[in-house]
Amino acid sequence: MDLNLYLEKTAEHIDKTIFRYFGSVFGDLYSASAHLMTAGGKRLRPAVLLLSADAVRKGSSDALIPAALGLEMTHTFTLIHDDIMDRDAVRRGVPTVHTLWGEPTAILAGDVLYAKSFEFLCMADADDKAKVRAVVMLARGCAEICEGQSLDMSFERRSDVTEAEYLEMVRKKTGALYAASAAIGGVLAGADRVQADALYHYGLNSGISFQIQDDLIDFLTPSDESGKDRASDIREGKQTLIAIKAREAGIDLSAYRRDLTGSEINDLVRILEDAGVIEYVRKLALEKVETAKLALSVLPESEEKQLLLEMADFFVIRGF
């Protein structure tokens, strides 16, 4: 099956499930919780979970839709809280939750999704011991996400963040949830320890490449295409790999910590391209993809394994 077609069908399935549970909610709290869930999205983490399950045991994903939705809830709760901390006004092309309902309700909305992610994970039709392992994996992943976000915020007060520190931050902030998605899918499908570990490292490195690419999208892609505020990382002084390599190249980004016009952003893009910064960042994302794909060598050949390999590549070509 073509990857794009698979992702479209999976997103459609997850969307229908989301609307079944969240499409007719009432009250500010649950309306706020449902806001980003029903605003769309590629549903990549559910797709990773379901593909990983089928790569271990074909057909097993049919019983794991609730778990896949649980991972999407986890992702959405992090988006709601991130938008509060980053003061972002737009997400997925719609106003962010805190801009519509205020910060207190947005915090609670994220908390609701966090709690329900474990509820839905346990609704999957799988072995109880496997579900306990999956719950532990998701709990650890959520803790790492919080650690990664804390590191990300602490970096804003520094001007000496290294590439190694950045990679540790994105490993936790983004890689951890993709790692959990892949490993949980495998575990719920009956993966042995070797297979589960391989899927974990596939997801981890894919997630790192995804975040590096996300930083590029934030900087290079117009808001009407990305659904986000363009160059928000630059304006907020975030220590992305772009910023780190720019500093190493002697480019001062402090003058860009303000509202920027499209032409000013485009001028900065050309400066960083001439300095080799953009090329370096893209190359590192591709290296992480190759590491992710190598991890899957322990799995038997299958259509689902091939789609996982293609998805890793997709993570660094999306948005452009």
CATH numbers and ranges of domains, the chain = 3-314 (1.10.600.10)
DSSP annotation of 171 reads I
Long-range contacts at 253-259 (CB < 8 A, ≥ 24 apart): 256/231, 259/235
The values of phi and psi at residue 158, to 5°, are -125, 160
The structure tokens 């974990």 sit at 200
The band of 319, judged by pLDDT with boundaries at 50, 70 and 90, is low
Exposure string for 225-255, b = 16+ CB within 10 A, e = fewer: ebbbbbbbbbbebbbbbbbbbbbeeebebee
Which structure tokens are listed for 300? 């038997």
Query: Is the pLDDT at 172 greater than 80, yes or no?
Result: yes
pLDDT score recorded for residue 232? 83
Number of H helices, E strands in the chain: 16, 2
- Give the CA distances from residue 238 to residues 105, 149, 165, 194, 305, in Å, rounded to whole numbers and listed in that order: 26, 12, 13, 37, 35
pLDDT score recorded for residue 201? 98
pLDDT score recorded for residue 249? 96
Phi-psi region at 139: left, alpha or beta (left = phi > 0; alpha = psi -120 to 50): alpha
The band of 93, judged by pLDDT with boundaries at 50, 70 and 90, is confident
Query: Is the pLDDT at 150 greater than 80, yes or no?
Result: yes
Q: Encode pLDDT of 30-75 as tens digits.
A: 999 999 999 999 999 999 999 999 999 999 999 999 999 999 999 9
Report, as an integer, the average pLDDT of 285-295: 97
pLDDT score recorded for residue 227? 61
